[in-house]
Structure 1
């Protein structure tokens, strides 16, 4: 053993050895298979830059992009009974809830917030599909009711982003009762003459589609979002026929009059601002932070420029 073995060789190995790359730096597009740099993908609102495939996005990430300056305030939602049916399958229901809360860092499957979007105050609610498939339980029902009440109290429009696999089976009939509850909550907005806009994201299925997700004054969907009550595989097995290409996707529903718009996520903010201000009978949105120029401002500008031109 000498200094070459003890010092030089380890030093060379440390310089030229392959460095480990963190696993979270790259994400693979589910549609085209392109490897996308995590930071660029986040800046692009989790839309593939190669094929424009819309990946899953959390409610907080969505709200950060939608609200002015990324500033919004959570609205407290009344908490229901934790396990009303004492349900248990492979795991106890409370254990599943705790696991979902740990993995998502959220209390439940729906987030309700308030804030300004394009200098227009709104109330917004969004479902988190990563929280038990965004399933509709009593908490989600309470969240929709609270969102509607907050919108009526503040006289603001309500925008809801749906993403769900349907009702939550662990709450049985109590989860199904959220369908009429949410319908009554939407009626509160109707009676107050406040806009209710729904943005359907991938996927929106089951009892969610059969209730509040299809009751909007304006129905918008993200591209290629699956929107249905029963999934295409279930229908094919029932009728034993092959369904049309793109059946129950956003573009198919738009062609058949079930939707008003199919809008890219990157253009969603501007689209929503225009629609909200139109429905609230407000002036058109202004690009930038400066107020719109008036006729007096234009006259003053002409006077100030005239001497310089001479």
Structure 2
């Protein structure tokens, strides 16, 4: 130790305020065009690449922030049994689950909230693909049923944002049973006369696609979202044919009638609000005047001949 380390360095650190902490992940690389995007620009653009308009994956809470008005409330979901099969591969399933829960700060792959979309009351369930691939577990099934019951209780439409790889293999047949459970949840909403809207995000595959994700009254997708049941390579090996370009992408499915619309993320909130308004509060057209009825009945404005005598 000498006077440099004991006296000079502390004085310099005091003078310049010491080392500054630099936050991590200031720049993000777009997976489509590979351009670097500054994190603030990416957040301002709702995690859509400003260079190529690629819609990046977002978490469930971000999805709710983008969709619902301020003041939305998250719903506490029923606790499902964890690791019912005591599954273990390279690690125990319960350890994987706890790690995912700690990282995402949520119990499972779905977050349910209620609030308003531009003033229109709604219940929203959002999948989080970062939570074990958004896979369907007993907890996910409980979340969807709870969301449906809440929608019926509040007389509000149910909107589900899907982003999932399908069933959760660590729960085996229990995971597969969530497919009919999710279908029952959709029936609860429809039998109550409420709209059920599905927004398919990248990716939506497997058992989610094969169950409730294709049962919406309105089917929406984000641009470029991959939507399908099995992988493209598996399908090609099965049918032994080359698949068309863009197969299992949102735009291809829209052209072939599987989707109703493809909506950009920046326009999603306004689109959902407009759909809810049309489905829940249809405008009553004024009754036409008698003269207008006559002109509609007789082309060219000609008078309608009287009915023949009996």
Asked if these proteins are the same fold (TM beyond 0.5), I'd say yes
- Secondary structure (helix, strand or coil) at the match of 1:213 reads helix
Q: Which residue of 2 aligns with 1:49?
A: 50
- The residue that corresponds to 2:35 in the other structure is 34
- Match runs of 1:80-99 below 5 Å: 80-99=80-99
Structure 2 residue matching 1:68: 3-state secondary structure: coil
Q: Aligned equivalents of 1:112 and 1:118: distance in 2?
A: 18
- 1:249 equivalent in structure 2: 249
Greater C-alpha Rg: 2
CA gap 1:125/1:170 in 2 versus in 1, 3 angstroms: same
CA distance in structure 2 between the aligned counterparts of 1:20 and 1:80, rounded to whole angstroms: 41
User: 1:270 maps to what in 2?
Assistant: 270
2:261 maps to which residue? 261
Q: How many residues align?
A: 277
Aligned to 1:165: 165
- Indicate the SS of the match to 1:24: coil
Q: Tell me by how many angstroms 1:192 deviates.
A: 0.5
Query: Equivalents in 2 of 1:54, 1:77: separation in Å?
Result: 29
Q: Which runs of 4 or more aligned residues in structure 1 lie more than 3 Å from their structure 2 counterparts after TM superposition?
A: 18-23
Give the gaps of 5 or more residues in structure 2.
Answer: 285-310
Structure 2 vs 1, CA of residues 19 and 78 (structure 1 numbering), >3 Å: closer, same or farther?
closer
Is 2:160 the counterpart of 1:154? no
Q: Which moved more, 1:234-243 or 1:265-274?
A: 234-243
Q: Deviations over 1:113-157 (max 9, x none)?
A: 000111111000010000000000111111110000000011000
Gaps of at least 5 residues in structure 1 are 285-310
Aligned match of 1:65: 66
Name 1:290's counterpart in structure 2.
none
Paired with 2:45 and 2:149, the residues of 1 have a C-alpha distance of: 33
Deviations 1:160-198 (A, max 9, x none): 000000000111001101111111111111110000000
Pair 20,184 (structure 1): closer, same or farther in 2 beyond 3 Å: closer
Residues of 2 paired with 1:87 and 1:180: CA distance?
A: 23
* Deviation per residue, 1:210-242 (Å, 9 max, x gap): 001110000000001000000112212333432
Render the CA deviation track for 1:15-40: whole Å, top value 9, x for unaligned.
Answer: 9xx99854311101000011111011
Distance of 2:97 and 2:123 partners within structure 1: 26
Partner of 1:181: 181
Match of 2:74 in 1: 74
Structure-1 residue corresponding to 2:299: none
Task: Tell me the residue number matched to 1:299.
Answer: none
State how far apart, in whole Å, the 2-side matches of 1:123 and 1:211 are.
20
TM-score normalised by the chain length of structure 1? 0.84
Normalized against structure 2, the TM-score is what? 0.84
Cα distance, 1:263–1:157 mapped onto 2, change above 3 Å: same
TM superposition shift of 1:283: 6.0
Matches of 1:224 and 1:243 in 2, distance apart? 17
Shift of 1:67: 1.6
Note the alpha carbon deviations across 1:192-211, whole angstroms, 9 max, x for none.
00000000000000000000
CA–CA distance in structure 2, aligned partners of residues 78 and 278 of structure 1: 33
